[in-house]
Chains A and B, each alone.
Chain A
Amino acid sequence: MLTLKQSRRLNTLLVGGVSWIVALLLFFPIFWMVLTSFKTEIDAFATPPQLFFTPTLENYLHIQDRSGYFRFAWNSVVISFGATALGMLFAIPAAYSMAFFETKRTKGTLLWMLSTKMLPPVGVLVPIYLLAKQFGLLDTRTVLVIIYTLINLPIMVWMIYTYFRDIPRDILEAARMDGATTLQEMVKVLLPISKGGLASTMLLSLILCWNEAFWSLNLTSANAAPLTALIASYSSPEGLFWAKLSAVSTLACAPILIFGWISQKQLVRGLSFGAVK
Chain B
Amino acid sequence: MNSTTLATPSTATSDARPVHGRRRRSPGWFLISPSVTLLLIWMLVPLAMTVYFSVIRYNLLYPGERGFVGLENFHYFLTDAGFIPGMTNTLILVGGVLLISVVLGVLISALLEAAEFPGRGLVRVMLISPFFIMPTVSALIWKNLIFHPVSGVLAALWKFFGAQPVDWLAQHPMASIVIIVAWQWLPFAILILMTAMQSLDQEQKEAARLDGAGPLAIFWHLTLPHLARPIAVVVMIEMIFLLSVFAEIFTTTSGGPGYASTNLAYLIYTQALLQFDVGMASAGGLIAVVIANIAAILLVRMLGKNLTEKH
**CB proximity to A under 8 Å, residues B115-158:** 115-120, 122-146, 150-153, 155-156
CB pairs A–B below 8 angstroms (29 shown): A16-B120, A26-B130, A27-B127, A30-B130, A32-B145, A33-B137, A47-B156, A48-B156, A97-B31, A102-B28, A111-B307, A113-B35, A115-B296, A116-B43, A117-B240, A120-B288, A122-B269, A123-B286, A125-B272, A127-B47, A182-B27, A214-B247, A217-B246, A218-B269, A231-B136, A257-B129, A264-B128, A265-B195, A272-B192
Q: Are A274 and B137 in contact (CB under 8 A)?
A: no
Which residues of chain B from 187 to 236 have a CB within 8 Å of any chain A CB?
187-188, 191-192, 195-196, 199, 229-230, 233
Q: How many residues of B contact A (CB 8 A)?
A: 113
Chain A at the B interface: SS class: helix
Contacts of B306 in A (CB 8 A): 275
Contact of A98 among B32, B264, B296 (CB under 8 A): B32
B130 contacts A122, C-beta separation under 8 Å? no
For the complex of A and B, 8 pairs with smallest distance between CB atoms = A16-B117, A101-B28, A127-B49, A213-B247, A118-B296, A124-B46, A93-B31, A260-B132
Separation in Å of the A55 CB from the closest CB of chain B?
17
Complex: chain A residue closest to B133, CB-CB: A253
User: Which of chain B's residues have a CB closer than 8 A to the CB of A227?
Assistant: 134
Residue in B closest to A185 when the chains form the complex, CB atoms: B27
A111–B160 Cα distance when bound, in Å, is: 53
Contact A253 B132 (CB under 8 A): yes
Instruction: Name A275's contact: one of B131, B282, B296, B307 (CB within 8 Å).
Output: B307
Give the complex CA separation of A258 and B254 in angstroms.
Answer: 31
A100–B36 Cα gap in the complex (Å)? 17
Question: Which residue, of B192, B295, B310, has the highest number of chain A Cβ atoms within 10 A?
Answer: B192
Contacts of B251 in A (CB 8 A): 231-232, 235
Partner-contacting stretch, out of B4-12, B74-82, B106-114, B170-178: B106-114
Q: Which residues of B sit under 8 angstroms from A213, Cβ to Cβ?
A: 134-136, 246-247
A268: chain B residues at CB < 8 Å are 191-192, 195
Which B residues are closer than 8 A to A by beta carbons?
17, 20-21, 23, 26-32, 34-36, 38-39, 42-43, 45-47, 49-50, 53, 108, 111-112, 114-120, 122-146, 150-153, 155-156, 159-160, 183, 186-188, 191-192, 195-196, 199, 229-230, 233, 237, 240, 243-244, 246-247, 250-252, 264-265, 268-269, 272-273, 278, 281-282, 284-286, 288-289, 292-293, 295-296, 300, 303-304, 306-308, 310
Shortest CB-to-CB span from B205 to chain A, Å, is: 14
Q: How far is the CA of A253 from the CA of B133 in the complex (A)?
A: 6
- Residues of A contacting B264 with CB < 8 Å? 122
Binds B, one of A56-64, A191-199, A241-249: A241-249
**B240: chain A residues within 8 A (beta carbon):** 117-118
Contact present for A272 and B230 (CB under 8 Å): yes
Instruction: List residues of A (160-189) whose CB comes within 8 Å of B's CBs.
Output: 165, 176, 182
Number of A interface residues, CB 8 Å? 103
A15 touches B115 (CB 8 A): yes
Does B307 contact A232, Cβ atoms closer than 8 Å?
A: no
Q: How far is the CA of A267 from the CA of B150 in the complex (A)?
A: 39
Establish whether residues A260 and B123, one from each chain, have CB atoms under 8 Å apart when the complex forms.
Answer: no
Could you tell me the distance in whole angstroms from the C-beta of A27 to the nearest C-beta in chain B? 4
Residues of B within 8 A of A272 (CB): 192, 230, 233, 237
- On whether the beta carbons of B272 and A129 are closer than 8 Å, the reply is yes
In the complex the two chains form, is B32's CB within 8 Å of A120's CB? no
CB distance from B258 to the nearest CB of A (A): 19
Most buried by B among A121, A213, A276: A276
CB-contact partner of A232 in B49, B130, B186, B247, under 8 A: B247
- Say whether B29 contacts A93, CB under 8 Å: no
The contact of B126 among A26, A46, A115, by CB within 8 Å, is A26
* Closest-CB distance, A188 to chain B (whole angstroms): 16
Closest to B122 in A: A23
Q: Which residues of B contact A260 (CB under 8 A)?
A: 128-129, 131-132
Is B31 touching A126 in the complex (CB atoms < 8 A)?
Answer: no
Q: Are B135 and A228 in contact (CB under 8 A)?
A: yes
Asked whether, in the complex, the Cβ of B243 is within 8 Å of the Cβ of A120, the reply is yes
Q: Is the beta-carbon distance between B135 and A91 smaller than 8 angstroms? A: no
A88 vs B141: C-alpha distance in the bound complex, in angstroms?
34
Give the interface centre of A96, A127, A130, A256 by most chain B CB atoms within 10 Å: A127
B155 & A47 in contact (Cβ 8 Å cutoff): yes
Cα distance A46–B251 in the bound complex, in angstroms: 23
Q: Which residues of B lie under 8 Å from residue A110 when comparing CB positions? A: 307-308
**Chain B positions within 8 Å of A16 at CB level:** 115, 117-120
For residue A82, CB closer than 8 A to chain B, the reply is no
Question: In the assembled complex, which residues on chain A have CB atoms less than 8 Å from the CB atom of B292?
Answer: 118-120, 123
